[in-house]
Amino acid sequence: MRIRAGVLYDGTLAQPRRNADIIIKDGTIARIEDASGECDRQAACVTPGLVNAHAHFEMNGEADTVAALRALSPMQRLLHAVENARKALRAGVTTARDLGASENISIELRDAIDQGRVPGPRMRAAGRVLCMTGGHGWFVGRAVDGPWEMRKAVREERHNGADCIKLIATGGVLTKGAIPGLAQLTLEEMSAACEEAQRQSLRVGAHAIGTEGIKNALRAGVDSIEHGHMLDDEAITLFKERDAYLVPTLSAPTCILEHAEGGEQPDFVITKARDVNEHMMRNIRRAFEAGVKVAGGSDAGTPFNRHEDYPREVLLMHELLGMTAQQALHAATHVAAELIGLHRGVLQPGEAADFLLLDRDVAEDLRTLQRPIEVFKDGRPAAA
């Protein structure tokens, strides 16, 4: 197959290429060359497929996430996960990391996609989150208290099929009574988890909003901080020293606050989201400008934050963090793919043929990502 691009972004920060043909063979990119002759598809702009480094496929963006999950059987949640994976793929998400699901839903979904039984992005799946007793995320988690329990939990999640680990370092917005700014899992507990995960070649992400919890998680050795809204200068230094990624999930508080007047969400969620948003607006841009590696991830599935809306996270990185359109695309492709570890998230020879056909240059209008002409994964059009 020969795909012609008026302008081609390869996922890096290199100058985009003009009037180029992408030659695809057996699901991978064989070569890229100057446009010539006939082609099978053409578009004004071609980019890599998007990579969402933070999603929850069993969640649908309901106003009250916890109540919605508790009202559904595991089978119903699995069916929602299948549907959401299909929606994400059609919207241009060709790779994703599910960072917390009840039962083994995310793991079963990942395997079904890999086997070609259902359409969806290629995935990493954390299985259940590891939280303290009564901690944030208990509704999709496993309670763990103490370093040795943590080691056992990591081993059991790996045995259950998890290929990454999610820790809960602080409170969060959606759990009643869990204060986002307060630390939950201890440094010792998270250090044990990271040591055990590294022995098993598993990468570790930590939900961390509060300052102390962010720094505890970084010192423990996590690969990524999810949210990170109350980071400080010391945390920025730790990010750079540890070569860790920041996944700011800008969509999560943004979507909650956009629907704050609807009366559907619990009051405590809106109150906490307002506080978190103030910190996010002050701190995340500062971290990016200081050179912290920012990877795209939306926390898809949280209130009004739907899986098919991930392209908006790219737009928010541009609007709120001051990234150029190409930097935002880079964060949501190559950087996020590096964090997940399944492929490089670039359009270069030998890489997976995951790409989007767009009707405008993203440098002129980044919103064009929200309406792709066509989505390809492994060189094949995404299922309708």
State the greatest distance between any 2 C-alpha atoms of the chain, in Å, as a whole number: 65
Residue with structure tokens 């934050």? Answer: 305
Residue with structure tokens 């994964």? Answer: 377
State the chain's mean pLDDT as an integer: 97
Q: Average pLDDT, stretch 355-369? A: 98
Each residue's pLDDT tens digit, 49-59: 999 999 999 99
Each residue's pLDDT tens digit, 193-203: 999 999 999 99
Q: Average pLDDT, stretch 76-80? A: 98
Query: What is the model's pLDDT at position 262?
Result: 87
Question: Which pTM was predicted?
Answer: 0.98
Q: Which residues contact 159 (CB under 8 A, 6 or more apart)?
A: none
Q: Average pLDDT, stretch 339-361? A: 97
Each residue's pLDDT tens digit, 129-177: 999 999 999 999 999 999 999 999 999 999 999 999 999 999 999 999 9
Query: What is the model's pLDDT at position 151?
Result: 98
Percent of the chain at pLDDT exceeding 70: 99
Query: What is the model's pLDDT at position 10?
Result: 98
Each residue's pLDDT tens digit, 279-337: 999 999 999 999 999 999 999 999 999 999 999 999 999 999 999 999 999 999 999 99
Inform me whether the pLDDT recorded for 384 exceeds 60.
no
Query: What is the model's pLDDT at position 185?
Result: 98
